[in-house]
């Protein structure tokens, strides 16, 4: 299946060379999880603080088990804030 991965702030350095500033498309096996996707880019699971799939938060207890579906947009942020 194919997903779009978006990485922001300090996580952008994990994007493959040649990516646009924040996103890359990925081919993953069916039923792949979030760690499967981030593992392709060697992004440690200790770094994400906020994760969205299609604009909806994934809660922290589900970070390691949530399965992805074809066409998903996975967006991952470290801890950030402002206001």
Smaller CB separation from another protein, 29 or 83: 83
Residue 6 or 32 having the CB closest to another protein:
6
Sign of CA dihedral 11, 51, 80, 8: positive
DSSP 5-26: EEE-GGGGGGSPTT--SSEEEE
Structure tokens given for 51: 């994760």
**Phi, psi dihedral angles at 10 (to 5 degrees):** -65, -15
Q: How far is the CB of 47 from another protein (least distance, A)?
A: 10
Query: Between 20 and 29, whose beta carbon lies closer to another protein?
Result: 20
Q: Which positions touch another protein (CB under 8 A)?
A: 6, 8-10, 12, 20-22, 49-50, 52, 55-57, 59-60, 75, 77-83
Compute the least distance from the CB of residue 61 to another protein, in Å.
Answer: 10
* Residue 62: CB minimum distance to another protein, A: 11
Distances from the Cα of 6 to the Cαs of 58, 74, 83, in angstroms? 14, 6, 22
């Amino acid at each position: 299946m194919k997903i779009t991965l978006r990485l922001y702030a300090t996580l952008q350095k994990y994007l493959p060379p040649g990516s646009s500033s924040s996103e890359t498309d990925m081919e993953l096996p069916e039923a792949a999880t979030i760690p499967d996707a981030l593992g392709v880019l060697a992004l440690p699971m200790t770094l994400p603080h906020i994760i969205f799939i299609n604009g909806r938060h994934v809660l922290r207890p589900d970070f390691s088990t949530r399965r992805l579906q074809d066409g998903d947009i996975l967006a991952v942020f470290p801890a950030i804030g402002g206001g």
